[in-house]
Amino acid sequence: MLTQAAEDYLKSIYKLQEKGGKVSTGILAEYLDVKPASATGMIKKLKSMNLVSHERYQGVTLTDAGKAIALEIIRHHRLLELYLFKALGVPWDGVHEEAEKLEHVISEDVEARMDAFLGYPTADPHGSPIPDKNGVVPKTISIPMTELQNGQSCVVAEVNDNDSALLRHLGSFNLYPGTAFRVIEVAPFEGPFTIDIAGQQAVIGREVAKNIFVSNVQETDIV
Amino acid sequence: MLTQAAEDYLKSIYKLQEKGGKVSTGILAEYLDVKPASATGMIKKLKSMNLVSHERYQGVTLTDAGKAIALEIIRHHRLLELYLFKALGVPWDGVHEEAEKLEHVISEDVEARMDAFLGYPTADPHGSPIPDKNGVVPKTISIPMTELQNGQSCVVAEVNDNDSALLRHLGSFNLYPGTAFRVIEVAPFEGPFTIDIAGQQAVIGREVAKNIFVSNVQETDIV
DNA sequence: TATATAATTTAGGTATACCTAAAATAATTT
DNA sequence: AAATTATTTTAGGTATACCTAAATTATATA
């Protein structure tokens, strides 16, 4: 069994790898809120276990074995989030923190039972895909809300899950994955978005919109 | 926040204190499967936090603060066991091990939600009392099954929860808390018990019977 | 290209919680 | 009471995972 810290490193490397290019020691350290020297140490340890590849000053990459573990932890995390949300009614801005602790201790058996209870879901409460037991991640096609134009309608596909206050804010507008809305107006000069959600108007600032990803984008006639 | 190890020590001291008299370093170490020297170290640490009282060579006692924490952990554990059993269908011989890990990471919020889901229960799947939020332990009146006489009927109140194989064995006879049975015959010379459970006969050895505690004992006419 | 800046790694230190082996203390037996 | 045995504690060591500070290596600027 890996330590919790090692699991967190693998998970973080995976997420950073997904987001963008090279995962440097510094980026990884910042993401995990530790000092670069600590990241160097853990990278050496993970390398000795053949879970990551690493050349000095060149950044880290997950090996197949490391990626499999990372995906397993992410699966635990996202299934737990959805379970807490659906079965116990934990608000969506609280599930992340809770799952962060549980993901390291839940057994495969309990996970399978939650999976069955939830009907083998493919996305967590924030819209993030849940990898299956074999580490296959369901594909989701979505674009940042910031790319939307006047008059376009769409459905919320996914939102960033790492900011509780933001999630509460989005919740107050009902901006959950699955919710449809239409862009009434994008203010010029990178301004805020005025949108229509089920007949209600809402103004969404650009910084907030950056955290929202949408799908099913369609041109609509202005009513 | 206490470390997981410290919480386990407090919980163990509480349980050993319940069972019998003085909790010595050696007894505690054996119970936790660590060396006596390790127990000495942790006792010193807990004493410095005013969670236990300890005089060299005299055994440990929980302070009020230590007892409160011990009861909180035990509450977590037993609520989790019942939740896993009822909500997720985990077999009763598996819930202990699972709860052992979860009890240290579950939040008060999630615990309160499980408590409500379960209807504020007072006993776990093995019949052990669940302390309430204030640390009050529901009183249970029960006697060891080994004290039963021919012809007496009773209800299973509690069974020892620390042996999976035993629990599976009891489960195969339906000997769960709440199940009623009648003693048909106690074999002489400390022999096994022949009992009647819902019309089915079963033979329960003495070593097994020592792990079963019963209540509502009544004399019955032999039919 | 030389120098300044930034990123990374090494070296050495902290805290937790375990270990073994030896010393100290208590309890039991002769 | 003395000697043996058992228990407990001290002393010193291991592994994990973090830290700071200094040294190294790479990158950017003059």
Residue of B nearest to A86 (CA): B113
Task: State whether A110 and B90 contact (CB < 8 Å).
Answer: yes
Task: Evaluate whether residue B103 is within a structural domain.
Answer: yes
- pLDDT tens for residues B188-198? 999 999 999 99
Protein-proximal nucleotides of chain D (any atom < 7 Å from a CB): 7-12, 16-22, 25-27
Assess whether pLDDT exceeds 90 at residue B30: yes
* A94 CB within 8 Å of a chain B CB: yes
Looking at the structure, do residues A85 and A150 belong to the same domain, yes or no?
A: no
Examine the fold and report which residue of B20, B38, B62 is the final residue of a domain before the chain moves on: B62
Looking at the structure, do residues B131 and B154 belong to the same domain, yes or no?
A: no
Distances B20 to A13, A98, A157, B23 between C-alpha atoms, Å: 51, 37, 59, 8
Looking at the structure, do residues A38 and A85 belong to the same domain, yes or no?
A: no
List the CATH number of the domain containing B26: 1.10.10.10
Q: Enumerate the residues of chain A whose CB falls inside 8 A of the CB of residue B90.
A: 109-110, 113
Mean per-residue pLDDT, A4-10: 98
Task: Evaluate whether residue A68 is within a structural domain.
Answer: no
Q: Which residues pair with A210 in a beta bridge?
A: none
Instruction: List the one residue out of A23, A25, A57 whose CA is nearest residue A41.
Output: A25
Looking at the structure, do residues B112 and B162 belong to the same domain, yes or no?
A: no
Looking at the structure, do residues A169 and A209 belong to the same domain, yes or no?
A: yes
Task: Evaluate whether residue B215 is within a structural domain.
Answer: yes
Looking at the structure, do residues A154 and A198 belong to the same domain, yes or no?
A: yes
Looking at the structure, do residues B56 and B10 belong to the same domain, yes or no?
A: yes
CA distance A88 to chain B (A): 6
Looking at the structure, do residues B124 and B147 belong to the same domain, yes or no?
A: no
List the CATH number of the domain containing A167: 2.30.30.90
Which single residue has its CA nearest the C1' atom of nucleotide D10? B37
Task: Evaluate whether residue B30 is within a structural domain.
Answer: yes
Query: What is the pLDDT, as a whole number, of residue B162?
Result: 84
Would you call A212 helix, strand, or coil by DSSP? strand
* A165 CB within 8 Å of a chain B CB: no
Give me the interface pTM, i.e. the ipTM: 0.92
Examine the fold and report which residue of A62, A85, A104 is the final residue of a domain before the chain moves on: A62
Looking at the structure, do residues B129 and B162 belong to the same domain, yes or no?
A: no
Looking at the structure, do residues B154 and B207 belong to the same domain, yes or no?
A: yes
Looking at the structure, do residues B47 and B81 belong to the same domain, yes or no?
A: no
- pLDDT tens for residues B67-113? 999 999 999 999 999 999 999 999 999 999 999 999 999 999 999 99
> What DSSP letter does each residue of A81-112 carry, written as one string?
HHHHHHHS---TTTHHHHHHHHTTT--HHHHH
Residues 18-37 of A with CB under 7 A from strand C: 24-27, 36-37
Task: Evaluate whether residue B69 is within a structural domain.
Answer: no
Q: Is the CB of A43 under 7 A from strand C?
A: yes
Assess whether pLDDT exceeds 80 at residue A118: yes
Q: What total number of domains does chain A contain?
A: 3
Residues 6+ apart with CB under 8 A from A130: A75, A78, A79, A82, A121, A122, A123, A124, A138
Task: Evaluate whether residue A106 is within a structural domain.
Answer: yes
Instruction: List the one residue out of B140, B144, B128, B125 whose CA is nearest residue B183.
Output: B144
Q: Which tokens is B179 given?
A: 């199940």
Residues 6+ apart with CB under 8 A from A113: B88, B89, B90
Distances A20 to A14, A61, A215, B7 between C-alpha atoms, Å: 10, 12, 21, 41
Task: Evaluate whether residue B51 is within a structural domain.
Answer: yes
Residues 54-73 of A with CB under 7 A from strand D: 56-57
Residue A222's pLDDT band (boundaries 50, 70, 90)?
low
Query: What is the pLDDT, as a whole number, of residue A218?
Result: 95
| A103 contacts A83 by C-beta, under 8 angstroms | no
Task: Evaluate whether residue A67 is within a structural domain.
Answer: no
Q: Find which of B107, B111, B115, B117 to mutate to test the A interface (most A CBs within 10 Å of its CB).
A: B107
| Long-range own/partner contacts, residues B19-28 (CB < 8 A, 24 or more apart) | B22/B58, B22/B59, B23/B59, B23/B60, B23/B61, B24/B59, B25/B59, B25/B60, B28/B60
Looking at the structure, do residues A46 and A99 belong to the same domain, yes or no?
A: no
Range of the domain at B14: 4-62
Length of chain B measured in residues: 223
CA dist B90 and B85 (Å) reads 5
Assess whether pLDDT exceeds 70 at residue A223: no
- pLDDT tens for residues A156-170? 999 999 899 999 999
* B106 CB within 8 Å of a chain A CB: yes
Residues 6+ apart with CB under 8 A from B56: none
Examine the fold and report which residue of A120, A139, A158 is the final residue of a domain before the chain moves on: A139
